[in-house]
């Protein structure tokens, strides 16, 4: 029995927002552990828009940042942020003064203010020694809870139990299937968004096992379970992101490529032996091939519903839009006017968003800003790799790869803020170890503390 929107939804959003506000007042560092849930849990309050935790919590962080006042970023970070903020202000002014959809412009202004707030808050919290541990715990717990409910969805559908499905507004609910198998979405809004959250949760369990070796076996077992559960999303975009992530990770860590390759080969052989008689392998292959066919056909397909194909063609036809964007939140109306019903807006005036962070940035802020943002993220990933911040390096790499086909901007700025803070803390520790007398050992002790769990 499928369950859709209920009166419990507003309760969850209000309670989660109040919890975040309480923590911001009492112990802001603990919000780091709550953020993975806040940025992915899909319960909502139906207002002018659907108000979720990934909207209310960033708004609370915006207030915290303004009350906090000045937050000192490194020079390189300040420069990039200043350029993006300038583009944001210009695009917002154009959208409000000359745009076709002022209400959507206001929503996007609030959205980007939240993104800036997440980044600055995480940068400030990342300076604290406990932030890394809380990050891993938050991701691991979120992954475990989502995986558990995802498995319950499979059993619930099989045995007719009450199951929260894929919510389609206040009155609609359904469940997706692939080759006869349930595509789980757990407590996220869609299977593909659940996939990357589970992947991050599994990876967090692995690194948390290094940080807390007394629970190592349990955490590694949890990681295996979470990742296996993520396969039941049957999300082609998620599988493609995992494949590209592994390829990129091998290039970042070539010395470990051999062990990773044989490890994945062994895991794949075991998985094949387990699921070969259940039809799961065929479903996974079918999911991947279906997604690949959609990409190959693009706008030549019979039933094209992916907004990204239309967006790419529009940018090819309108190079100025590719350079300067079309104004905050204006791409819905822009694409609708170009292509008609089903692109940008549906027959009832509902929004049809792009499933690509990169394309959203191009339309909102311009191609130059999008390239600057992704170039800065790539440089940060490389710096984290060189500094030995392996989890943040890999987590940021994965959500960046995934962002090409799913909206992962909140997680990108979340990891980026923490990563820049950790790099700054490491630089200070290195300086201290060079300045302090060798016999004091304080600099060396601090460096060992920073490196805990990263080896």
pLDDT in tens, 294-341: 545 444 443 445 788 889 999 999 999 999 999 999 999 999 999 998
Nearest to 326 by CA among 406, 338, 404, 403: 338
Looking at the domain assignment, is residue 322 inside a domain? no
Looking at the domain assignment, is residue 283 inside a domain? no
**Higher per-residue pLDDT: 375 or 272:** 375
Looking at the domain assignment, is residue 181 inside a domain? yes
Q: How many residues does the chain have?
A: 455
Q: What are the structure tokens assigned to 295, written together?
A: 């990409």
Whole-angstrom distance, CA of residue 375 vs CA of residue 26:
36
Whole-angstrom distance, CA of residue 100 vs CA of residue 334:
9
End-to-end CA distance of the chain: 47
- Residue 29 pLDDT class (50, 70, 90 cuts): very high
Looking at the domain assignment, is residue 348 inside a domain? no
Looking at the domain assignment, is residue 238 inside a domain? yes
Whole-angstrom distance, CA of residue 358 vs CA of residue 401:
10
Dihedral sign for Cα atoms in the order 298, 303, 306, 312 = positive
Whole-prediction pTM: 0.88
Q: Which pLDDT does position 72 carry in this prediction?
A: 77
In total, how many domains does the chain have? 1
Q: Which domain holds residue 137?
A: 2-75+101-274+407-451
Looking at the domain assignment, is residue 430 inside a domain? yes
Looking at the domain assignment, is residue 178 inside a domain? yes
Q: Which residues, 6+ apart, have CB-to-CB distance to 203 below 8 Å?
A: 139, 223, 391, 394, 395, 398
Average pLDDT value for residue range 269-283? 56
Q: What are the structure tokens assigned to 418, written together?
A: 């923490």
Looking at the domain assignment, is residue 309 inside a domain? no
Q: What are the structure tokens assigned to 15, written together?
A: 């309670």
């Amino acid at each position: 029995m499928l369950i859709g929107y209920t009166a419990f939804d507003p309760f969850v959003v209000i309670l989660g927002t109040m919890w975040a506000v309480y923590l911001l007042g009492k112990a802001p560092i603990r919000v780091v552990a709550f953020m993975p849930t806040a940025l992915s849990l899909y319960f909502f309050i139906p207002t002018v828009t659907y108000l979720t935790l990934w909207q209310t919590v960033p708004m609370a962080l915006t207030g915290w940042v303004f009350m906090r006042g000045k937050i000192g970023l490194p020079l390189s970070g300040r420069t990039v942020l200043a350029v993006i903020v300038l583009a944001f202000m210009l695009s917002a002014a154009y959208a409000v003064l000359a745009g076709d959809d002022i209400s959507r412009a206001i929503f996007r202004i609030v959205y980007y203010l939240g993104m800036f707030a997440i980044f600055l808050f995480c940068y400030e919290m990342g300076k604290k020694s406990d932030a890394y541990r809380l990050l891993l715990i938050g991701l691991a717990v979120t992954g475990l809870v989502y995986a558990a409910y995802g498995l319950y969805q499979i059993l619930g559908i099989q045995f007719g139990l009450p199951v929260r499905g894929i919510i389609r507004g206040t009155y609609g609910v359904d469940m997706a299937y692939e080759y006869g198998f349930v595509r789980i979405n757990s407590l996220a809004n869609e299977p593909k968004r659940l996939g990357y959250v589970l992947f991050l949760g599994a990876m967090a369990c692995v690194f948390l096992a290094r940080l807390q070796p007394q629970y190592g076996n349990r955490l590694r077992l949890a990681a295996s379970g979470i990742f296996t559960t993520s396969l039941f999303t049957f999300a082609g975009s998620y599988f493609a992101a995992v494949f590209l992530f592994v390829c990129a990770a091998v290039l970042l860590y070539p010395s470990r490529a051999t062990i990773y390759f044989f490890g994945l080969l062994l895991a794949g052989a075991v998985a094949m032996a387990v699921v070969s008689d259940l039809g799961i392998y065929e479903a996974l292959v079918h999911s991947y091939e279906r997604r690949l066919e959609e990409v190959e056909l693009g706008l030549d397909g019979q039933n094209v519903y992916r907004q990204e194909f239309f967006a790419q063609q529009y940018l090819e036809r309108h190079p100025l839009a590719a350079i300067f964007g079309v104004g905050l939140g204006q791409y819905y109306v822009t694409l609708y006017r170009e292509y008609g019903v089903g692109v940008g807006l549906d027959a009832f005036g509902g929004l049809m968003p792009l499933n690509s962070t990169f394309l959203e940035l191009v339309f909102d802020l311009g191609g130059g800003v999008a390239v600057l943002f992704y170039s800065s993220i790539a440089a940060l990933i490389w710096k984290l790799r060189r500094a030995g911040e392996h989890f943040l390096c890999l987590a940021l790499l994965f959500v960046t790869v995934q962002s090409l086909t799913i909206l992962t901007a909140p997680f990108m700025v979340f990891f980026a803020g923490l990563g820049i803070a950790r790099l700054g803390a490491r630089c200070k520790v290195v300086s201290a170890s060079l300045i302090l007398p060798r016999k004091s050992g304080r600099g060396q002790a601090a460096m060992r503390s920073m490196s805990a769990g990263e080896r």
